[in-house]
Amino acid sequence: MNRPATSVTTQQIQLYRDQGYLQLPHLFSSEEMDALRAALDHIIEQGRARVLGEDREHDEDFKQVFLQLVNLWVDQPEVRSFTFDRRLADIARQLAECRAVLLHHDQALIKPGGDWSRATNWHQDAPYYPMQQSDALSAWIAVDDVSTENGCLQFLPGSHRFGSLELVPFDVEGASIFDQLAQQGVTLDAAPVSMAMAAGGVSFHHGCLFHYASPNRTERPRRAFTIIYTPDHVTYDGGWDPAGATDLEVGEPFSGPQHPVLSVARR
């Protein structure tokens, strides 16, 4: 699946800089999504742990938001090629405007269907990452067709400019990043933008961008797969590393086998 390097335009980079996200429909074929969908279904059937080496499972409140499976590239060869997809990594590097991007981690996010499903609270990703700079970004692959009906992402354009705020818990229904702003007397006029798209589409978003997903009101799960990229200037802050690295140094860039380099700019 390693394709030739792909470039984004100057206009697309500026859009990402201004809005904090970029949507690129139809990056993957229907055959590729069939393969990824089958792989994720098989992994779930096998009962793979959320994080390798941990026995804990999601509590019931968390499961109503989504089932999360982290670092599938390590032990799932059918998924690894998507995590290491050169085209995605090249785009991420260009959007981040850095020399190189490393893998922070990957994760499957499967939102359950039916009346049991709950919204993913409005939040930022950056507060969950053990990084001293808030410049990480994610590629979010729609493994199924996604819409507001089954819980596609919704972004608040330009909200990444607030920087990294406090962590919003997923297991507390109704918790929201907007509560933090309200306490500061800040109100926002921008309207959310839906990332509805067909399976195989990808959206990139900045780690500080406010985003949300509505409940999945269909009877089928909504499957997504994300890759989180770390620009090469970002340094470790000493927190828990979801990739499982134990040799990172506070104040030093991410490195090592758990954080491989995925794209480097040509000189």
In a domain, 104, yes or no: yes
In a domain, 191, yes or no: yes
Mean pLDDT of 141-148: 97
Higher pLDDT, 56 or 244: 244
In a domain, 5, yes or no: no
| ∠ Cα 230 250 260 (to 5°) | 35
In a domain, 1, yes or no: no
Mean pLDDT of 201-215: 96
Domains in the chain, number: 1
Q: What is the pLDDT of residues 210-253, one digit of tens each?
A: 999 999 999 999 999 999 999 999 999 999 999 999 999 999 99
Residue 65 belongs to a domain with what CATH number? 2.60.120.620
CA-based torsion, 167, 88, 196, 157: positive or negative: positive
In a domain, 205, yes or no: yes
Instruction: Please say if the pLDDT value at position 137 is more than 70.
Output: yes
Q: What is the pLDDT of residues 62-101, one digit of tens each?
A: 556 668 899 999 999 999 999 999 999 999 999 999 999 9
List the single range of 82-86, 113-117, 174-178, 246-250 with lowest mean pLDDT: 113-117
Task: Print the domain residue range for 134.
Answer: 10-238
